[in-house]
Chain A
Amino acid sequence: MGTLQSLSDEPEYRELAEKTGFSFEQIGILHKRFKQLSHNENTLRRADLDTIPDLACNPIRTQIIEAFFDKRNFHQNGDGTVEEISFEEFLVVMSHFRPPALNMTEEQREKVRREKLRFLFNMHNTDNDGTITLEEYRHVVEELLSRSGALGKETAKGIADAAMLEVASISMGHMEPDEFYEGITFEHFLKILKDIEIETRMNIRFLNMDTTTLCNRDSSSIR
């Protein structure tokens, strides 16, 4: 049932495929998943994502869910957050996790890297002022450590401070004693993470035929 339906929506899918780079089958599968999550409505809300059982024990689930509703990730130069998203916006956010094609030039790879790192940057930079301040970074580390036991805010603060110091040392090098390091800009962010090969690490699999989603549809309604 699923695949036949997706083929019939082809003109829309073509536009989406061009925009996001997914193939038709992948778009079809994601559409199925979208419908499943939104209970067959046209828009997805935060509450729908909250119900995913796999996300329940994820320490950064709030940030992940927020990222889906963050207009900065919709590639439309928007700002702020929305309450519900359409399938197209869902797809655009998911396209950040698509693996790069095999035959890419160095330029294209760099573009993909920047895009993925921009997504990460937006996740940290919640107030959208262009820099990740110390407070925001501390929040990130606190969230990461929140599920892993009760070692408290002090530890998180210490680690975040150390990380910030490292960024400042690497990007600024020389600072006068009374200068103040505002925060991590996007360029600095690129610099400190250049050794993690983001374009190969930040990907998930978008297979063509996946039976687990079909099974999930039945079992999730029971849950």
Chain B
Amino acid sequence: MANYCSSSSMVDLWLTTAAAARQHVCFHLIPRLSGVVPESCLLIVVGLLVGGLIKVIGEEPPVLDSQLFFLCLLPPIILDAGYFLPIRPFTENVGTILVFAVIGTLWNAFFVGGLLYALCQIESVGLTSVDLLACLLFGSIVSAVDPVAVLAVFEKIHINELVHILVFGESLLNDAVTVVLYNLFEEFSKVGTVTVLDVFLGVVCFFVVSLGGVLVGAIYGILAAFTSRFTSHTRVIEPLFVFLYSYMAYLSSEMFHLSGIMALIACGVVMRPYVEANISHKSYTTIKYFLKMWSSVSETLIFIFLGVSTVAGPHAWNWTFVIVTVILCLVSRVLGVIGLTFIINKFRIVRLTKKDQFIVAYGGLRGAIAFSLGYLLSSNHQKRNLFLTAIITVIFFTVFVQGMTIRPLVELLAVKRKKESKPSINQEIHTEFLDHLLTGVEGVRGHYGHYHWKEKVNRFNKIYVKRWLIAGENFMEPELIAFYRKMELKQAIMLVESGQLPSALPSTVSMQNIQARATPRLSKKREEEIRRILRSNLQNNKQRMCSFSYSRHTLFDADEEDNVSQVHLRKMERRVSMMKGRMSHYLTVPADRESPRPGVRRVRFESNNQVFSADSVPTAHFEQPSTPRTPDAVSLEEEVPKRRNLKADGGGPRGTVSDSNQGELNYQRLARCLSDPGPNKVENYPFMS
């Protein structure tokens, strides 16, 4: 029991140290430094300090246990990366990414391994006992670009999307190559000889490992999507399914010696569109934050442990070997990227520029995976310590030197940065429009290109797959509408939280400016009826026919956010309107509960000639899909705040105006019909629901 407690408390202690380190060191104590030095470097330094401290005390500092690393620390980071992988740029560049990942890594491994073997043959180095296979094994370990390190460094520099996805995708997909090469060379170096058959088997093995991993991941992803279809009654454990299935995918594929990383990526990618359509918004938020939290903690721990392990040793230092290794890694990376880009550019529509190539080459960082693989080498493997030392040196060099200098270099070379753009409904419309347009033109052209296949996959997805994996009616919903709803929801939530709408620029444009002439005409009779009703209820007889401008706030109700946000919204709006001291009328329309997507609309009328400020910018309004023939009567309510009216010239409080048919309601006409309200009373009407 005591042992159990002590090991748990050790874990806890490490986690706390990690979290504290990240928080304080990186953000508080040395804030300016963390702008220059990437977090990964700082964390390694912390690890070095901690390791040194432990050694000074006299204890044996713990080394990064490979099993711990591969089973606990790595999966969250990879799942986070895979789940939030931007699909569009990834699929557009998948060919290039695969070429870099597979051929690039192979090139690196053989180049480094081969030349190191040549080096070891030189008598003066003193390493003649290292044979070719051992060198190749070392080459395969040290040649793979590491996703953890790449993520840590590239996160901050905000490079343009293309380069980011190239380096990042490569770091994820080269796992299959690394696994195969590593296992192969380890087997071979035990056996001692290699035949052509072995090489052939190696190639087959590679395909099995990579495709098998992807298949396992995809199966688990579909299972997770299918499960999420039925979780509408148990929303609380939805995130758990996501995590469990992903981890199972990872473990299963590792068990069969397939590529666990590719399984995780495939699982995340396959699962995401369907799961997100099924789960509630809260579950989505939970998943997002848990993934970010776990991956952040893992990353911190990995880097700290790297530092500690460095101190722990054991080391066997050989100047020539280590330095040549570092140089060879750099050289092979640069040569590989340049050579491959030369070939790839012949097949790409958008060519990679020299700057892009430079960043791709320079961003090839090594990290903890290389170290763990090296640590996994059996201890009676000759020269294990030498290899470990060299690996650690390469990791330090890439993370420190390349990691620190990449940002100034990016700025110096004026490489294209990522465009920070808000989600825009226009862009979404045009993205979809472009997709169809390009598919169509490809059809005219007669060439089965990228868009043709994408269209085929989409259609297959829509007709066969979505039906099974998405709950309820949602599978029919086109992407554009889903996007639009999400945007509305986000805006509504932001409105509730901050009391005002998020807008990039203060704008005074409202729906009226757009629709002034495009509105449908009410039938004469209806119009008369409305006017009569309004007139009869108004105290003030002066009717201005000039336009009342208004803004609309809309709230789009999603299932859970319903009641809470309504209450909050009312509080917020009351607060805002009272603070502004402006005359406003509230027009509320009761939600039609029978329609599939109930929406609540609120319209605020403002008196004449007032300039809008940022917080009264209307959101887009989403009209209910209900037909005009709703049975509910609309009642117009007005709420008049207490404060002074800028322009009012007397007039008493207003009463309710009621009775118009919702579907035919023409808001602008109503606006024009309303006269200037009196300033006196605040009337709070119960929210109609």
In the bound complex, do residue A204 and residue B620 qualify as a contact, i.e. CB atoms below 8 Å apart?
Answer: no
Contact with B along A188-218 (1 / 0, CB 8 A): 0000110110001111111100101100100
Chain B residue, CB-CB nearest to A57: B459
In the bound complex, do residue A205 and residue B447 qualify as a contact, i.e. CB atoms below 8 Å apart?
Answer: yes
Total interface residues in chain B, CB < 8 Å? 72
A111 CA to B476 CA, complexed, in Å: 40
In the bound complex, do residue A144 and residue B436 qualify as a contact, i.e. CB atoms below 8 Å apart?
Answer: yes
Chain A nearest CB from B58 CB (Å) reads: 59
Chain A residue, CB-CB nearest to B504: A170
Specify which of B508, B510, B516 lies most central, judged by the most chain A CB atoms within 10 Å of its CB. B508
Interface residue? A7 (CB, 8 A): no
Interface residue? A52 (CB, 8 A): yes
With A52-B443, A60-B433 known as contacts, the answer to whether A165 contacts B514 (CB < 8 A) is yes
Interface residue? A134 (CB, 8 A): yes
A202 surroundings in chain B (CB, below 8 A): 434, 437-438
In the bound complex, do residue B477 and residue A180 qualify as a contact, i.e. CB atoms below 8 Å apart?
Answer: no
Query: Which of A97, A168, A177 meets B549, CB within 8 Å?
Result: A177
**On chain A, which size bracket covers the interface?**
35 or more
Chain A residue, CB-CB nearest to B432: A144
Chain B residue, CB-CB nearest to A169: B507
Interface residue? B567 (CB, 8 A): no
Interface residue? B446 (CB, 8 A): yes
With A163-B425, A165-B620, A195-B424 known as contacts, the answer to whether A68 contacts B444 (CB < 8 A) is yes
A165 CA to B432 CA, complexed, in Å: 19
Contact with B along A13-32 (1 / 0, CB 8 A): 00000000000000000100
In the bound complex, do residue A181 and residue B514 qualify as a contact, i.e. CB atoms below 8 Å apart?
Answer: yes
B426 surroundings in chain A (CB, below 8 A): 163, 166-167, 192-193
Interface residue? B6 (CB, 8 A): no
In the bound complex, do residue A178 and residue B549 qualify as a contact, i.e. CB atoms below 8 Å apart?
Answer: yes
A216 CA to B443 CA, complexed, in Å: 11
A68 CA to B477 CA, complexed, in Å: 31
In the bound complex, do residue A172 and residue B509 qualify as a contact, i.e. CB atoms below 8 Å apart?
Answer: yes
In the bound complex, do residue A145 and residue B481 qualify as a contact, i.e. CB atoms below 8 Å apart?
Answer: yes
With A54-B442, A102-B353, A169-B505 known as contacts, the answer to whether A159 contacts B480 (CB < 8 A) is yes
Query: Which of B477, B514, B622 meets A158, CB within 8 Å?
Result: B622
In the bound complex, do residue B621 and residue A162 qualify as a contact, i.e. CB atoms below 8 Å apart?
Answer: yes
In the bound complex, do residue B509 and residue A169 qualify as a contact, i.e. CB atoms below 8 Å apart?
Answer: yes
Chain B residue, CB-CB nearest to A146: B478
Chain A residue, CB-CB nearest to B350: A200
In the bound complex, do residue B509 and residue A168 qualify as a contact, i.e. CB atoms below 8 Å apart?
Answer: yes
Chain B residue, CB-CB nearest to A99: B349
A167 CA to B478 CA, complexed, in Å: 23
A177 surroundings in chain B (CB, below 8 A): 508, 510, 512-513, 547-549, 608-609
In the bound complex, do residue B430 and residue A193 qualify as a contact, i.e. CB atoms below 8 Å apart?
Answer: yes
A167 CA to B438 CA, complexed, in Å: 24
A55 surroundings in chain B (CB, below 8 A): 440, 443-444
A115 CA to B503 CA, complexed, in Å: 30
A159 surroundings in chain B (CB, below 8 A): 425, 429, 480-481, 484, 620
Chain B residue, CB-CB nearest to A98: B349
Chain A nearest CB from B477 CB (Å) reads: 7
Chain B nearest CB from A191 CB (Å) reads: 10
Chain A nearest CB from B641 CB (Å) reads: 20
Chain A nearest CB from B276 CB (Å) reads: 18
Binds A, one of B230-238, B448-456, B523-531, B557-565: B448-456
In the bound complex, do residue B431 and residue A196 qualify as a contact, i.e. CB atoms below 8 Å apart?
Answer: yes
In the bound complex, do residue B621 and residue A158 qualify as a contact, i.e. CB atoms below 8 Å apart?
Answer: yes
Chain A residue, CB-CB nearest to B459: A57
Interface residue? A222 (CB, 8 A): no
In the bound complex, do residue A180 and residue B517 qualify as a contact, i.e. CB atoms below 8 Å apart?
Answer: yes
With A145-B481, A157-B623, A165-B618 known as contacts, the answer to whether A213 contacts B424 (CB < 8 A) is no
A165 surroundings in chain B (CB, below 8 A): 509-511, 514, 618, 620
Query: Which of A94, A99, A120, A173 meets B505, CB within 8 Å?
Result: A173
Q: Which of B463-512 contact A (CB under 8 A)?
A: 476-478, 480-481, 484, 503-512
Chain A nearest CB from B645 CB (Å) reads: 17
A102 CA to B548 CA, complexed, in Å: 54
Interface residue? B445 (CB, 8 A): yes
Interface residue? B439 (CB, 8 A): yes
A205 CA to B505 CA, complexed, in Å: 39
A192 surroundings in chain B (CB, below 8 A): 424, 426-427
In the bound complex, do residue B481 and residue A151 qualify as a contact, i.e. CB atoms below 8 Å apart?
Answer: yes
Chain A nearest CB from B458 CB (Å) reads: 10
Query: Which of A149, A152, A179, A204 meets B476, CB within 8 Å?
Result: A149
Chain B nearest CB from A89 CB (Å) reads: 13
Chain A residue, CB-CB nearest to B599: A158
Contact with A along B342-355 (1 / 0, CB 8 A): 00010001110100
Instruction: Beyond A148-B478, A159-B429, list 15 extra A-B contacts (CB 8 Å).
Output: A55-B443, A58-B440, A64-B437, A68-B444, A99-B350, A148-B476, A158-B620, A158-B621, A169-B617, A172-B513, A176-B508, A180-B517, A201-B434, A204-B447, A204-B449
A-B contacts, 22 of them at CB < 8 A, read A33-B446, A36-B446, A55-B443, A60-B437, A60-B440, A64-B444, A94-B445, A102-B345, A144-B480, A155-B481, A155-B625, A158-B484, A159-B620, A162-B425, A165-B509, A170-B505, A174-B507, A177-B513, A177-B548, A180-B514, A202-B434, A202-B437
B interface residues, Cβ below 8 angstroms from A: 345, 349-351, 353, 419, 421, 424-427, 429-434, 436-452, 459, 476-478, 480-481, 484, 503-518, 546-549, 608-609, 617-625
